[in-house]
């Protein structure tokens, strides 16, 4: 069959939607020209089926593609939501600034210079303990100062929590700790007030209680408030070594710590 008597190629389905539409238009034009030129010839069935299948596939994909107006509406809704969130954040920030300014204006003025963190800690302490000394050939055990007895160091192992506390001033950090204690819903903790707190260079937090009894209560019920500083947070426990003189090591089983603990 001569090339000019062959029906045009139909049924091509390009991947791109717009290209598919242009292909259907060109194939339809070629079919019309072929039928006009060869009026006495009929188009084979498989050509018609290919062309119809291509058209159907085009309309199926056109139905599944979202309308441009729907996409525009979705973008407008997302933009409006973002603007509303920014306005809400601005309102909250403004209210916080107003409360902070009001508290500062309500605070009594003083010509004295503000006290340092160490002065605050020392001022709220208890009277120092009196220690009785005895003459002994063995070195005296280390004496723990009253301030150290009221001191609690919190190890922050959560990077996000460490970042949250990074820019807090001592006064704001103290209020944050007191809020955590009040919200612990533990009767023995809600009445404890922390007079001083600060962030160490290591990123850990050191707080001071008003009394030694408060410090012991916080250490005893640490599981009620420590998780608020991060899941991996913990209270650092200080340990002290003890030296014992004039004890023969031959009488001690150094390979069995349990037996040493039982004897001593």
**Looking at the whole model, is its pTM more than 0.85?**
no
Answer yes or no: are the C-beta atoms of 216 and 235 closer than 8 Å: no
Domains identified in the chain, total number: 2
pLDDT digits (tens, 9 = 90+) for 73-114: 767 777 777 777 778 778 888 888 888 777 776 665 555 566
Per-residue confidence at 152, pLDDT binned at 50, 70, 90?
A: very high
Show which of 14, 49, 64 is a domain's final residue.
Answer: 64
Please check whether residue 195 lies inside any domain of the structure: yes
Please check whether residue 175 lies inside any domain of the structure: yes
Please check whether residue 95 lies inside any domain of the structure: no
Please check whether residue 112 lies inside any domain of the structure: no
How high does pLDDT run on average in the chain? 76
Q: What is the pLDDT of residue 118?
A: 60
Please check whether residue 137 lies inside any domain of the structure: no
pLDDT digits (tens, 9 = 90+) for 209-225: 989 999 999 988 888 88
Show which of 46, 64, 82 is a domain's final residue.
Answer: 64
Please check whether residue 171 lies inside any domain of the structure: yes
Residue 115 or residue 183, greater confidence? 183
* pLDDT above 70 for 173: yes
> For the residues 21-42, what does the mean pLDDT come to?
80
Please check whether residue 190 lies inside any domain of the structure: yes
Show which of 44, 64, 84 is a domain's final residue.
Answer: 64
Instruction: Out of 13-27, 171-185, 213-227, pick the least confident.
Output: 13-27
Q: Identify the domain containing residue 170 by its residue range.
A: 146-235
Here the CATH number for the domain that contains residue 220 is 3.30.70
Please check whether residue 52 lies inside any domain of the structure: yes
Residue 26 or residue 101, greater confidence? 26
What contacts 24+ positions apart, CB below 8 Å, involve 212-219? Answer: 212/126, 212/146, 212/149, 212/150, 214/150, 215/149, 215/150, 215/151, 215/152, 217/188, 217/189, 217/192, 218/152, 218/189, 218/192, 219/152
């Amino acid at each position: 069959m001569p090339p000019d008597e062959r029906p045009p190629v139909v049924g091509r389905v390009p991947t791109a939607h717009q290209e598919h539409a242009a292909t259907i238009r060109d194939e339809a034009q070629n079919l019309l020209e072929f039928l006009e030129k060869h009026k006495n010839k009929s188009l084979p069935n498989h050509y018609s089926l290919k062309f119809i299948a291509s058209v159907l596939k085009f309309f199926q994909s056109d139905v599944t593609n979202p309308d441009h107006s729907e996409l525009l509406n979705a973008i407008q809704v997302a933009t409006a939501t973002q603007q509303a969130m920014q306005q809400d954040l601005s309102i909250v920030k403004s209210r916080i600034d107003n409360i902070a300014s009001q508290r500062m204006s309500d605070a009594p003025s003083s010509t004295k210079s503000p006290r340092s963190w160490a002065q605050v800690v020392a001022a709220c302490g208890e009277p120092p303990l009196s220690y009785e000394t005895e003459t002994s050939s063995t070195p005296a055990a280390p004496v723990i100062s009253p301030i150290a007895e009221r001191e609690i160091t919190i190890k922050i192992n959560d990077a996000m929590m460490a970042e949250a506390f990074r820019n807090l001033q001592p006064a704001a950090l103290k209020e944050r700790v007191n809020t955590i204690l009040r919200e612990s819903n533990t009767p023995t903790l809600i009445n404890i007030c922390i007079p001083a707190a600060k962030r160490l260079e290591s990123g850990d937090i050191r707080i001071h209680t008003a009394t030694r009894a408060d410090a012991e209560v916080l250490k005893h019920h640490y599981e009620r408030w420590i998780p608020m500083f991060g899941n991996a947070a913990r209270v650092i426990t200080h340990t002290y070594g003890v030296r014992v003189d004039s004890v023969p090591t031959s009488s001690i089983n150094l390979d069995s710590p349990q037996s040493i603990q039982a004897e001593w």
